[in-house]
Structures are given as C-alpha cells and as structure tokens.
Chain A
C-alpha cells in the first residue's frame, strides 16, 4: 500500500491507499506532521463505493471517492462537515455558492473571479469542509475540488451560503425563513449513513441555520450577474 499524510482543517490523517493516484490527487494537502487519525482503505471500501453514492457515480475513481467518505465520516466526530458547493474568500469573508450539480455554480464563481480579480481567492470548487467553533464557522478546502480543480489550501470565516438558480434575469433575495432553507441546505451537506453520525450532522445543520445568513440568486450568464452577487451580497457581508 501507499502511505501518505494529509492535513485538512488543521487535522492530520495518515492514509494507507492502494493507488498512487490517490496520493497525487491529494497534492497540496500533504503533510509530515503526526497524524490524529489513520485511515486504511480496504477492498470493501472500494467495492461498496458504487452502491453508497446515491447517484451511482464515484468521485474520480472508487478509491478517491471512498477516501472522501471515510474522512467525512471521521470528521463528523469533531464537528466538521462536508458541504457541496463552490467556495471562495473575498475581503477575509468566506462564501459558498451551492446548487444541484450542473446548474452553474462553478460558472458563476468563475465569472465572479473575472469580475473581482485578485480580490477573490478560490477555496474549494466542490466539497469544502465546515468547522463549527464557539465563535465562528470556518471554511476549509479539501482535495475534492471539482472538475476544474479550482481551489487553494486556505480557510476563512464563513459569512453566508448562497443558493443559485439559473434565471433569465438576475435577481437576489435574503432568505429570512429558516424553514425554507432547512431542506435545501440538508441536500447540500454530506450526511453519514451511521445513525449517531447522521444525528451529529443534522445538529450541525441546525447550528448553521442559526448562525449563517442565506441568500438565493437567480442568475444568467451576463456580466451583470457577478456584479449583483458582489454588490448586493458579498460586499454587505464583508463590511
């Protein structure tokens, strides 16, 4: 097996993997520090992966997908969950733009990057980690970083989660109803299968609902779309 260590959300994992490609995929997160957890991939992990993913698809390959699941399942015990969305940092404030796959969240964040230039730093384009602290919610990157592999091994205080829809015209609104957010948010957070861990993840979602601001944007592909998101949401949240 191939042994390597990665550091995610200030936590070091020793990973024993079958494939060199798994280590290569984690480049940018490799560490030489003492591990807190040891994860040894098994044949069963790989065989189960196809059945465990709801849509029957694996993330890059079975091992990279199974490693994501093992780490997400481990992290839940220390109050860290995995979100699905494209995340970035502007003026030291972190944001996640989330939507179902294929709706255009990565495209909108790319347009925001073109609009804001160096002011915007990609955190993670697909599966950022969220850590609940006493005072704050911190967003971290992870190796599971979307097709474009857009991301940096950086973190930020999370300010808001933005739900994106495709629209003919651009519009935005702050979602005041937590009940409205609840199920939308739940579908964008990794929920472990294990009963106790799933309960922990649901409790973390309850905390996110209490502490964060949520927005909905309807966007087209015009240049006005990133301007609206920045001027109406990001700028206000990072004042």
Chain B
C-alpha cells in the first residue's frame, strides 16, 4: 500500500496534518492531525510501497523494548482510519 497521491502532508509550527487535494476533496472534507507515529507512517507510505507487516517491522526495529501487541494495535487502527478516508491505495 502507498499514500494516495491526492493527499498532502503539510508540516507547520502547529504540527503535521494530512489533507485531501484534487478529487479527494469531494469525498473527504476533513483534516487529519498527525502525531509522531502517524506522521512516521504517512511518510513511510509516501515514499514506499509497504505492507502492514513492513510497517510493523519498521516500528518493532525502531522500538525493540515496546510491547509488540500494543504497536500492532495502534498501527493497525491508524492504517484502517487512513483506508476509511481513502488516504492509502493498494
């Protein structure tokens, strides 16, 4: 999966947001405020075609002392939310 190119990541002093552009503005009128993990995920998907497992492995390697189940739950929920607004494409 990759980040839908009709979504824009904007970085400002107030943090990072994900916002639709082009045709996606007709379907999703909101803005996603990104925390540090969300930001990392959308940047990974912006530049790479990755599976859920690839993303999970990225975080498992980055945070080896953290509970894998908690990482999996958080990442999966966020990916599902991105799917709901069509921000990622397979």
Contact pick for B8, options A183, A186, A199, CB 8 Å: A199
Cβ contacts under 8 Å, B12 to chain A: 182, 202, 205-206, 209
- B31 near A195 with CB under 8 A, answer no
* Nearest residue, chain A, Cβ from B12: A206
| Contact assessment for A179 and B15 in the assembled complex, using a CB-CB cutoff below 8 Å | yes
From A180, which residue of chain B is reached at the shortest CB distance? Answer: B14
Residue among B10, B15, B22 making CB contact with A193, cutoff 8 Å:
B22
B13 / chain A contacts, CB cutoff of 8 Å: 178, 206, 209-210
Report B1-17 CB contacts with A as 1/0, cut-off 8 Å. Answer: 00000101010111100
Smallest CB–CB gap between A204 and chain B, Å? 11
Complex: A52 Cα to B23 Cα, angstroms: 9
Given contacts A195-B8, A198-B8, contact A178 B14 (CB under 8 A): yes
Q: Is the CB of A186 within 8 A of B31?
A: yes
B10: which of A54, A179, A183, A202 is its contact (CB, 8 Å)?
A202
Supposing A178-B14, A198-B8 touch, asked if A54 and B21 sit within 8 A by C-beta, the answer is: no
- Residues of chain A within 8 A (CB-CB) of B8 are 195, 198-199, 202
Q: Which residues 21-79 of B have a CB within 8 angstroms of A?
A: 21-23, 25-26, 29, 31, 33
Residues of A within 8 A of B23 (CB): 193
Check A193/B25 contact, CB under 8 A, given A183-B31, A198-B19, A199-B8. Answer: yes
Q: What residues of chain B lie closer than 8 Å to A193, measured between beta carbons?
A: 21-23, 25
Question: What does DSSP make chain A's interface, helix, strand, loop or mixed?
Answer: helix
Query: CB of A135 within 8 A of chain B?
Result: no
> Which residues of chain B come closer than 8 Å to A54, judged between CB atoms?
29
Please give the distance in Å from B76's CB to the nearest CB on chain A.
26
Smallest Cβ-Cβ distance to A186: which chain B residue: B31
Report the separation of the CA atoms of residues A79 and B56 in the bound assembly, to the nearest whole angstrom. 41
> In whole angstroms, how far apart are the Cα atoms of A24 and B6 in the complex?
37
A106 to B12, CA, bound (A): 31
Bound Cα distance from A194 to B21, whole angstroms = 6
Q: Is the CB of A209 within 8 A of B21?
A: no
For A186, list chain B residues within 8 Å (CB): 31
The closest CB in chain A to the CB of B24 belongs to A193
Q: Which 4 A-B pairs have the closest CB atoms?
A: A195-B21, A182-B14, A206-B12, A202-B10
Can you offer 14 A-B residue contacts whose CB atoms are under 8 A? Answer: A52-B26, A178-B13, A178-B14, A179-B15, A183-B31, A191-B25, A193-B21, A194-B21, A195-B22, A198-B19, A198-B21, A202-B10, A202-B19, A209-B12
